Each structure stands twice: as C-alpha cells, then as structure tokens.
Amino acid sequence: MCLLAVLYRLVPESPILVAANREEYFDRPSQPPSIQSGKPRVLCGMDQRAGGTWLGVNQHGMFVGVCSRRGTGDAFGARSRGLLAREVLRCNSARKGVDKAMEELTTHRYENHNLIVCDAESGWVVHADQEPDVVPLDDGLNIISNQNVNDPNDDRVSLAHRLLTLQLLDSPVKFLAVASKVFARGPSPAGRATMVMRGKDYGTVSSALIALSPKPRDAIFQFANGSPDQAKYEDYSPMLRDILSRGLREARTKAKAT
C-alpha cells in the first residue's frame, strides 16, 4: 500500500512538502536513503529484492513517490513499480518524467501503481491499472494511497486530510511538525482507517518527511527506518542539500556556456 501526502505550491519558500509512510512485507529487505551513483544524482531508498525505490529526489529538485494501486490486473510477470520510479528519477524535470513514465508503460508491464512526479514547475499523478491515466497535481494538499489521488471514498486518505488540516500549514516548519505527528499516529482498531499499519507479516516499515526549497540549504529530508510510532526520524538533509547544490552548480555552468 503506502500513504503519501504532498503539499504542492502552497508555501512559497518550500513549493514541495512531502510526508510518506511506506507499507511492505516485513521480510522484504531495503536500504535507507543514500546518494546513488550516476547522473543525475538521486537520493532514495533501495528495495534490495527488485532494485527499485518507493520515494526519491534528484539533483534537479524533482520528487518521485510511488504507491501500490488496488486493481484487477494480474501482477504475475510484471516489473516492480519501484523500477519505474527509478527510471523517472533519471529525468531532469517533472514534465519529462511523466513522459518517461508513459513511455515505459506503453512498452513494459508494471505492477499496478500510483506515481507522483513533481518539481516546482509542474506536478503529475499517474494512475496505472489496466490503462494508465495522467492527472495534474492540484496546488494545495494532495493525498494518495491505493486508489485515486484525493479520493473521497478512501477512508485512509480522508483521515489523513482531516488530521493534516486541523492546523494551518503555512510554513515548512509547521507542515513537518504536524506531519511528523500525524504520520506517526499509532495503529487503529481493526476495520478502521489508520495512519500506521501493523499486521503479522505486513505493515508500515518506514516514513519520510521532505521539504524542497529554491535554496538547497533550506531543503530538509528526515527518515524513520521503521514504523514512525516506534522509530525516530533521523536527519538526511545534508545528503539532500549536497545533490541539490550540485544540480544548481551544473545548471549555472550550463547556462553560462550557452
């Protein structure tokens, strides 16, 4: 499953604010976020079984996140949705990223997914079940799980929206403070919507909080390597600032050369 919230282009100093809980089988190994080799530089976690990622940021300030999607498609033989996220993270803009996703989906079969791709210029959601559907990301609060973005019939999305809007989210600090509590809210009784999931074999295995800003020094990346009601958020911001600074330097060098 997974639960992902993006506050998009509402706070000028941080046009992309993200909170995400990842759900997975407990016996599926993964690595916490690290800077990947190659260009562009990408900061993301790694699924050690399939080699993909569930969430990442590249040096161009583009965010990509992926959730599983409820559907009727047969997943047997399909590529991991995390591999699609890694492919998209190689692009230098969200617009090119969503084009890359659609190109991949026309030539390969991937597991059902909801893919969010956004930068400061544009944002998109790809719903991929039988046929992929692309919708623009709304300015403001967008929440997605295993159905459509901002789906009013998704109880988990509705719960997250209610909890996140109890206070005015008008700054990066306010968003991250509120989201860190909301996404760490402990499991609810069976049959009720919940922020943290915990079953026998499957549940919330990590959580991330991200603020992307025009100035790399203001960027924030916090990651809990475990369910956030039990594991603390650790600061990965220096790595994020490093790749964003690299991207800014390369963009300036390219602009001078032309």
Q: Is the peptide bond before 32 cis (omega within 30 degrees of 0)?
A: no
43 has pLDDT over 90 = yes
CATH 3.60.60.10 is held by the domain 3-257: yes
Distances (CA, A) of 161 to 123, 134, 149, 169, 185: 19, 22, 12, 12, 14
What is the reported pLDDT for 74? 59
Condensed to tens digits (0 to 9), the pLDDT of residues 160-208 reads 999 999 999 999 999 999 999 999 999 999 889 999 999 999 999 999 9
Q: Please provide residue 75's backbone torsions phi and psi, each rounded to the nearest 5 degrees.
A: -80, -10
> Which pLDDT belongs to residue 195?
97
Write down the residue that tokens 């005015």 correspond to: 168
- Contact between residue 118 and residue 92 where contact means Cβ atoms under 8 Å apart: no
Average pLDDT over residues 128-135: 92
Give DSSP secondary structure letters for 107-124. Answer: HS-B-SEEEEEE-SS-EE
Least confident among 59-73, 82-96, 114-128: 59-73
Per-residue model confidence as pLDDT tens digits over 77-86: 799 999 999 9
Q: Tell me how far apart the alpha carbons of residues 146 and 136 are, in angstroms, rounded to a whole number.
A: 17
Q: Is-contact 133 112, C-beta < 8 A?
A: no
**Distance linking the first and last C-alpha atoms of the chain:** 45
* Percent of the chain residues past pLDDT 90, beyond the cut: 92
